[in-house]
Structure 1
Amino acid sequence: MSLTPSNMLSLGTKAPDFLLPASNFNTKFNFDDCKGKLGTLVIFMCNHCPFVLHVIDEVVMIANDYRVQGIGIVAISSNDIIKYPQDAPDKMADFALKNKVDFPYLFDEFQEVAKAYDAACTPDFFLFDNLDKLIYRGQLDDSRPGNGIPVSGSDLRNAIDSIVYNRHLNEVQKPSMGCNIKWK
């Protein structure tokens, strides 16, 4: 496990498009398919990362809380499955079922989408507004495996609330921390 911070893509960046197969649906999705009326949350994650495992229940709760309010949610795994076979699409489908991930969980086989988003770690969160402009990139909250801080999702929830309730969002944002994306 290599602790890696997110790269903090520039705010205002337009969401890169993609067309990727979903491990938990029998179809491919592009950005517009995943888009919500008010905004879209793109999450880079994987099956085996202890940082993802630490927060997955809260991520699913956030998806359930905000999807009904007009936020689209999509997760993408970009790890090299030759070196990390536990992140292969069939294992992603099992992970999605076990963890009640009912939003698209996409496989970025060629890692082009991760590079387009400048994703660096798992989990890595990117929140776009209704114009597909990046308004938040950073951490879920201050909790990390073993640090004793309860998982709350506070940073990400505040960012999503800024869209849903038309509130000001602080541009000072803490990077996410997690395992590095396993590049080919």
Structure 2
Amino acid sequence: MAQTASNMLALGTKAPDFLLPATNFNTTFNFEECKGSKGTLVIFICNHCPFVIHVIDEIVMIANDYRVQGLGIVAISSNDIVKYPQDNPEKMADFALENKMDFPYLFDETQNTAKSYSAACTPDFYLFDNQNKLIYRGQLDDSRPSNGIPVSGSDLRNAIDSVIYNRHLNEVQKPSIGCGIKWK
């Protein structure tokens, strides 16, 4: 399984906007509509990546734990569906339903959104504060498929706590590791 690291977009970057169709809702969403009162988590995922499958339960738990505290959450798939039909919008909707994703799962057909975020892998996490400034881009935790470390979400949860409770967040952050985005 090939491993690709995050590009580590510069901290302080303003959240790029998007307008993308949701595969699990019958509408489109932009950044403002996904935004939470305390901050916003943008996650690049896909249906078939073993790294995503390894952590999807924790991603959904984080969404459920923090949405009620004012965190907006959105997932985006930017993979080329011609070469990877398992990531097509219909299968994205099935994936969202199977994994009880109550947050928008958007399809980035042009891949322009992934490029604007400098996304490189799945999963790739971007946490913005309530001013839409990037304060965290990095890993969920140290767990990877088959490395034996339990999934805890500790790195991302710590970052989210810093946004919600106005705590200082260390700028030294470990990149996410996952499958590379499948570019056209």
1:150 aligns with 2:150: yes
Which residue of the partner structure matches residue 99 of structure 2? 99
1:55-94 superposed matches below 5 A: 55-94=55-94
In structure 2, the residue matched to 1:30 is 30
Residue equivalent to 2:18: 18
Deviation at 1:117, TM superposition (A): 0.1
Number of residue pairs the alignment of both structures matches: 184
Local SS of the residue matching 1:158 = helix
- The CA distance in 1 between the partners of 2:88 and 2:28, in whole Å, is 16
What's the offset of the Cα at 1:94?
A: 0.2
Deviations, residues 102-124 of structure 1 (Å, cap 9, x unaligned): 10000000000000000000000
- CA shift, 1:162, in A, is 0.1
TM-score normalised by L of structure 1: 1.00
Specify the SS of the correspondent of 2:23: coil
Measured after TM superposition, the shift of residue 177 of structure 1 is: 0.1
How far apart are the structure 1 equivalents of 2:119 and 2:2? 15
**Percent identical residues:** 83
* Residue correspondence of structure 1 range 128-139 to structure 2 within 5 A: 128-139=128-139
Partner of 1:171: 171
**1:107-156 CA deviation, whole Å, 9 max, x = no partner?**
00000000000000000000000000000000000000000000000000
Q: 1:165: how far off?
A: 1.1
- Once the two structures are superposed, residues 17-63 of structure 1 have per-residue CA deviations (whole angstroms, 9 ceiling, x without a partner) of 00000000000000000000010000000000000000000000000
Query: What is the rounded CA distance, in whole Å, between the counterparts of 1:2 and 1:69 in structure 2?
Result: 36
| Distance in 1 of aligned mates of 2:117 and 2:42 | 9
- Structure 1 portions without partners, runs of 5+: none
- In structure 2, how many angstroms separate the alpha carbons of the residues matched to 1:42 and 1:140? 13
Q: Could you tell me which amino acid in structure 2 is paired with residue 134 of structure 1?
A: L
Q: Give me the whole-angstrom Cα distance separating, in 1, the residues matched to 2:166 and 2:109.
A: 36
SS for the counterpart of 1:75 is strand
The aligned residue for residue 183 of structure 1 is 183
Runs of 4+ in 1 over 3 A off after TM superposition: none
* Partner of residue 2, structure 1: 2
- The one-letter code matched in structure 1 to 2:181 is I
Whole-Å Cα distance in 2 between the matches of residues 163 and 108 of structure 1?
Answer: 27
In the alignment, does 2:113 pair up with 1:113?
A: yes
Q: Which consecutive residues of structure 2, in runs of 5 or more, have no partner in the other structure?
A: none
**Where does 1:118-129 land on structure 2 (aligned, <5 Å)?**
118-129=118-129
SS of residue in 2 equivalent to 1:151: coil
